[in-house]
Amino acid sequence: MEIVGEENFTDALIDLISYSSDASEHRHRPDGAVWPKTTEQVSEILNLANEHKFPVIPRGAGTGLAGGVVAERGGIVMDMGRMNRIIKIGIEDRLAVVQPGVVYDQLAKALAHYGFFFPPDPASGKAATLGGNVATNAGGLKGAKYGTTRDYVLGLAVVLPDGAVLRTGSKCMKSVSGFDLTRLFVGSEGTLGVITEIILKINPKPQTTSASSAAFDSIEDAAKAISEVMRSGIIPSALEILDDQCILALNRDADLGLPEVAAIVLAETDGHTREETNYQIDRIIDVFRRNNAKEIKRAQSAEETEKLWAARKSIGGILFRLSYNMLAEDVTVPISKVPKMLKAIQAISKRHNVLIATLGHLGDGNLHPNIIFDGRNPGERARAAKATDDLFRAAIELGGTLTGEHGIGLAKADFMPLEHSTVAIKVMRNIKTLFDPNNILNPGKMGLEI
């Protein structure tokens, strides 16, 4: 391809296969892939695609769980990984300007140098790119206290399907000038334009943390404790739950010697002094006690904190080892509905006879029921699909949402009408048509087609 040069285009089989999937169950080979280096190149490629009407699928690191970068209808994968410069870190202005291919960890390291950080940290932060984080509005463990990616994007440069370059937002902390186009693109999953530059708000990094874990004999008690923490006036920097299936898997594979109870809850508080973080964690521990926690641990040092979190940090991988396939779901409900949702998950697991291991960021109601199955067995696959269906329905009935942080992609495209009214879907489809009348950008995602 003349636009990017021979070395930045490929249709080699090994590349097409490596671009055929992300971390989801979906798979389809594209017809080619490009690695643009500049906004101008992105513009020229989109222009060409628009003229010849071939699909373009923007891609970051491909760590997504919803099939958002799978070339379901072929076309060209546009790998943004090589636009990976941190353009500017402006501590005084509290911002960082980056290209989309910058990896989360790369920015984290650069900011640590100044004592700053970019709070929304997805579990895949070592590999995931910021462009992908913005396009999927990624969340993470710190959501309860710090929000998600959306809360930190001040402005964007976006190439539209006709090749025009749109600049949204500003470098100001405040701006109410015109429509908030920035927010429209955050979480748009590459269906409206290709992000080529991002202005991010950054935070000073809290210097200290305190942590605690508590074991509960019933999931209801654990859930009640969590609701009470959220009412207590303390906002933990992380509040996580691991259910009995997670605990069993961890004890089998990771040798952490966890108590075999119904649920373990982990809490972390952060701040600038030890007194402050200890005060907060002690209030949380009071709540744990009042709700029948049986084994409470409180970390006294960085190493002890590390130990407490070891279970949570290794769980993702451990669950993948249980069988051949896993649907990593991320239904989210209002915090007050978490106890009901946890119960519903248990019932669904029983009803469809499938293993569901649940963890979650409970400070923001974001649950991760992981449906684990052997996809080589058609019966198991069908039961897993039915369980997913029920999971979505249960969440929506509780006033929740299909996805808290992974996105709709291909995985949940068919379920959009379950959550959104016909009016809402019509508006979304109109927006899609306005930006991308020829439907060249990431077609088939988010249920945007009529």
CB of 127 to another protein, least distance (A): 5
Q: Angle, nearest 10°, between helix axes 302-322 and 244-253?
A: 100
| Beta carbon of residue 10, minimum distance to another protein (angstroms, whole number) | 8
Residue type (1 letter), 123: A
In this complex, which beta carbon is closest to another protein, that of residue 341 or of residue 357? 357
Q: How far is the CB of 230 from another protein (least distance, A)?
A: 30
Q: Which is nearer to another protein, 23 or 229 (CB)?
A: 23
For the bound state, the minimum distance from the C-beta of residue 42 to another protein, rounded and expressed in Å, comes to: 16
Residues 81, 423 contacting (CB under 8 angstroms): no
The footprint of another protein (CB under 8 A) covers 12-15, 17-23, 35, 61-63, 79, 81-82, 84, 101, 103, 105, 124, 126-128, 314, 316-318, 320-321, 324, 326
Nearer to another protein, 79 or 270 (CB): 79
Q: Considering the complex, what minimum distance in angstroms separates the CB of residue 108 from another protein?
A: 12
Pick between residue 91 and residue 254 the one whose CB is nearest to another protein: 254
Closest approach, Cβ 79 to another protein, in A, equals 7
Nearer to another protein by Cβ, of 21 and 237: the residue is 21
Minimum CB distance to another protein, residue 295 (Å): 26
Smaller CB distance to another protein: residue 119 or 125? 125
Q: How far is the CB of 326 from another protein (least distance, A)?
A: 7
- Between 88 and 126, name the residue whose CB sits nearer to another protein: 126
Closer to another protein at the Cβ: 12 or 256?
12
